[in-house]
């Protein structure tokens, strides 16, 4: 029988439900179980593709080209589970399919209602993932907070699955907050109210995870257990972690979260093996030294906008046993700086990364930062928009095409070194129409990127509309830009690098989505290595 774990949240948002879900999944994997994860987003957007990174943080892209919530990236970093389109469910998708079925006349004249039609569609989608071959447990994170109107159909579907499948097959985890008020006193009342609200919807949680500033005393756990009807052992404290979030599975293991799940769901599992994970956490807690990397982008003010990039940089640090300090620089603030002031702003850095982005704002500052890196020998890593900026900068300052630009920023430029492919020219529909998902690239031997991957054929994910304009391949190559990666037939440029430079690499794809703390991405590992070497020489 397939098992399901629902994770809901109460009190307020941003308590780290995604991290709780994925840490629990990590722990179950360490016991030899095969898991799947689903994120439910109760908004009406069909996917996260059209949402601003300022509204909702980064858009995470899967191999099969789904544009999803950033929690799926967190699942990919903590677990080995494959993540595809179906692992991300939104209210937009649910209504879209129910309404198209209604238009096709498939409800045979019945009135179409939230219960049972919407809830049935939710259950169907959960089961599609849960019933994948070889899967033991599926964890479903229900976005939002209990009490929101938007979440009600999902909680109802979860309740129904609980009674359809029986208590040994479905487990409910509820995450709440134990806040500290003036004088350092910890408060249990919000938890009490939140569990009450969940029970009013017909769900008795089997486990509580309490976000708290520190471990809670035994008598408080006892009190929470008695007023929520959750066994004392199953009241878990997810206390604040000071060093690294990757420690969370170890914190859960200490409190035997896995044993509780395994017993309740009557699973057969081996003893936990967290050796590699614990060794990785140990590196993060006791690094050999610290390296400072500047991330020069436009969505810097929201910590989640470049989530996977920040994490991948940390992973590059793990590969080299160093701590990576991220210096987040709003590219707009670099515009119009004098050479001296620019040097002052960037001189303490050991490497810079230019991440992806859309639209004109901040582009000039990115070009300025790239020029500084190229001419001063500072390692530079351009990702997607970042690569396009590296090409524009090279065309302007080395090839002396002063008006070189991307048609995204200046449609009428006479030197469009980055431009749209024919097939993108007529696109009017903005949802899901970019070049998206996994594809193959071939890389040239004796290049930085080749040394990093140690492979000529690589598979990475894309999310962009604009491309390197092939008319500029020859002049840019002659001027010294190395075009190091192509699509298999050679029609599109996938990566560029600077000759005569310690490390200057731009890639059109998004390597950050495939990096994990256990398996740091080779490009990030190589970039951090170059930054360490740069630090040693300056």
- Residues making contact with ligand GLN (CB under 6 A): 356-358, 384-385, 408, 463-466
Q: In 60-184, where does DSSP find H-type helix? A: 71-78, 91-103, 119-130, 152-165
Token pair for 32? 């030899």
CB of 511 to ligand GLN, least distance (A): 12
Taking the least distance from each CB to ligand GLN, the nearer of 88 and 305 is 305
Token pair for 82? 């494959």
280, 314 Cβ separation under 8 angstroms? no
Taking the least distance from each CB to ligand GLN, the nearer of 6 and 527 is 527
Three-state SS for 219?
helix
User: Catalytic annotation on 442?
Assistant: no
- Of 247, 393, 497, 512, the catalytic one is 512
Taking the least distance from each CB to ligand GLN, the nearer of 144 and 357 is 357
User: Catalytic annotation on 380?
Assistant: no
- Of 141, 384, 464, 534, the catalytic one is 384
Classify the C-alpha dihedral 442-435-124-209 as positive or negative.
positive
CB of 435 to ligand GLN, least distance (A): 8
The strand pair at 170-177 and 3-9 is best described as parallel
- CB neighbours of 315 closer than 8 A, spacing ≥ 6? 515, 516, 517, 520, 521, 524, 525
When CB distances to ligand GLN are compared, the closest residue is 356
Q: Which secondary structure element, helix H or strand E, spans residue 326, and what is its range?
A: strand 322-330
- CB neighbours of 535 closer than 8 A, spacing ≥ 6? 291, 350
CB of 415 to ligand GLN, least distance (A): 17
- Of 462, 510, 521, 534, the catalytic one is 510
Taking the least distance from each CB to ligand GLN, the nearer of 239 and 358 is 358
CB of 356 to ligand GLN, least distance (A): 3
Taking the least distance from each CB to ligand GLN, the nearer of 212 and 300 is 300
- CB neighbours of 297 closer than 8 A, spacing ≥ 6? 305, 306, 328, 329, 330, 331, 354, 355, 357, 362, 366
460, 441 Cβ separation under 8 angstroms? yes
Taking the least distance from each CB to ligand GLN, the nearer of 123 and 464 is 464
- CB neighbours of 218 closer than 8 A, spacing ≥ 6? none
Token pair for 231? 């066994």
CB of 385 to ligand GLN, least distance (A): 3
187, 194 Cβ separation under 8 angstroms? no
CB of 252 to ligand GLN, least distance (A): 34
User: Catalytic annotation on 456?
Assistant: no
- Residues known to be catalytic: 384, 510, 512
């Amino acid at each position: 029988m397939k098992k399901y774990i629902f994770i809901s949240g109460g009190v307020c948002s941003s308590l780290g439900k995604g991290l709780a879900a994925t840490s629990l999944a990590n722990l179950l994997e360490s016991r030899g179980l095969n898991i799947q994860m689903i994120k439910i987003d109760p908004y009406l957007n069909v996917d996260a593709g059209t949402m601003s990174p300022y509204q909702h943080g980064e858009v995470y892209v899967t191999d099969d080209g789904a544009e999803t919530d950033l929690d799926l990236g967190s699942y990919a970093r903590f677990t080995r589970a494959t993540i595809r389109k179906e692992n991300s469910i939104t209210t937009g998708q649910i209504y879209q399919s129910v309404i198209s079925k209604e238009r096709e006349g498939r409800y045979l004249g019945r009135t179409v209602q939230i219960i049972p039609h919407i809830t049935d569609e939710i259950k169907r989608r959960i089961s599609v993932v849960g019933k994948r071959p070889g899967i033991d447990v599926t964890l479903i994170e229900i976005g939002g907070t209990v009490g929101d109107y938007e979440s009600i159909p999902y909680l109802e579907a979860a309740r129904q699955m609980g009674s359809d499948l029986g208590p040994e097959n479905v487990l409910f985890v509820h995450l709440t907050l134990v806040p500290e008020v003036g004088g350092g006193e910890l408060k249990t009342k919000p938890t009490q109210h939140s569990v009450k609200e969940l029970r009013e919807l017909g769900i008795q949680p089997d486990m509580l995870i309490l976000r708290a500033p520190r471990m809670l005393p035994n008598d408080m756990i006892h009190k929470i257990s008695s007023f929520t009807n959750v066994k004392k052992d199953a009241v878990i404290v997810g206390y604040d972690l000071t060093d690294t979030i990757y420690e969370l599975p170890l914190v859960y293991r200490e409190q035997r979260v896995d044993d509780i799940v395994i017993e309740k769901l009557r699973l057969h599992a081996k003893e936990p093996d967290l050796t590699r994970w614990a060794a990785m956490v140990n590196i993060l807690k006791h690094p050999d030294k610290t390296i400072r990397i500047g991330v020069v982008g436009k969505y810097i003010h929201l910590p989640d906008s470049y989530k996977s990039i920040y994490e991948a940089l940390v992973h590059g640090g793990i590969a080299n046993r160093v701590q990576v300090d991220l210096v987040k620089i709003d590219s707009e603030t670099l515009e119009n700086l004098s050479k001296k002031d620019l040097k002052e702003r960037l001189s303490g850095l050991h490497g810079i990364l230019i991440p992806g982005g859309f639209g004109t704002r901040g582009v000039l500052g990115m070009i300025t930062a790239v020029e500084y890196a190229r001419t001063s020998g500072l390692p530079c890593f351009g990702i997607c928009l970042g690569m396009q900026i590296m090409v524009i900068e090279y065309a302007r300052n080395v090839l002396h095409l002063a008006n070189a630009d991307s048609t995204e920023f200046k449609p009428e430029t006479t030197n469009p070194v980055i431009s749209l492919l024919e097939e993108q020219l007529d696109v009017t529909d903005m949802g899901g129409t970019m070049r998206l998902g996994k594809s193959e690239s071939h890389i040239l031997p004796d290049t930085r990127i080749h040394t990093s991957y140690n492979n000529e054929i690589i598979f990475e994910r894309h999310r962009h509309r604009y491309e390197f304009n092939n008319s500029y391949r020859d002049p840019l190559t002659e001027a010294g830009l190395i075009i190091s990666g192509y699509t298999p037939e050679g029609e599109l440029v996938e990566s560029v690098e600077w000759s005569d430079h310690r490390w200057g690499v731009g890639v059109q794809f998004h390597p950050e989505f495939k990096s994990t703390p256990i398996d740091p991405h080779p490009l990030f590992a190589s970039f951090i290595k170059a930054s360490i070497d740069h630090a040693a020489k300056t």
